[in-house]
Amino acid sequence: MTTIEYLAQSAVPLLFIVVPVIGAFIRTRHSPSREAALETWQRWWAIGALGCGSLWMTLAFVGAPDVMATAIGFTRTPFEFEIAFANLGLAVLGFRAASASARERLTIGIGAGMFLWGAVVGHVYQWFTNGDHAPGNTGGVLVTDLLIPAVKIILARRAQRLSTSERVAPALG
């Protein structure tokens, strides 16, 4: 595999971070309030990063399990089918988070983190223990698996804090 091919394959997961960031940035340029901007960012992140990113992984693992096994540096096993449906669960949660409360979004972010951060540990273990430098093991997937739940949690916590500060702030009048 050439360097260009490696970079191209490992960059694909990063699209599920870049597109929501660009979309949310464009959409919130003239936002009427911080609350409205935060809501837009949460929806873009929920649908674009977690929802669509996880749905893409579902379709890739179900539709092209041999390709995905090669991309992560393994031979094909029933593991790909299991990962596909774990990602389908994350996709459903991501789409649900688009209209969820801050508390639900926080819970969804933590749940996604448990799976995706566990995957990060597995990828790093395979990298250092077995020298697995396949693009689906040490490429952009490490960044997305780390950042998608982290940003989801941070956005939900900010929304909770904004909501709490509005309730606590005395009315001016």
28-54 pLDDT, tens digit each: 999 999 999 999 999 999 999 999 999
Above pLDDT 70, what percent of the chain? 95
Q: CB atoms < 10 A from the CB of 133, how many?
A: 14
108-151 pLDDT, tens digit each: 999 999 999 999 999 999 999 999 999 999 989 999 999 999 99
Q: CB atoms < 10 A from the CB of 32, how many?
A: 8
Task: Look up the pTM and report it.
Answer: 0.89
84-116 pLDDT, tens digit each: 999 999 999 999 999 999 999 999 999 999 999
Ranges of each domain in the chain: 3-164
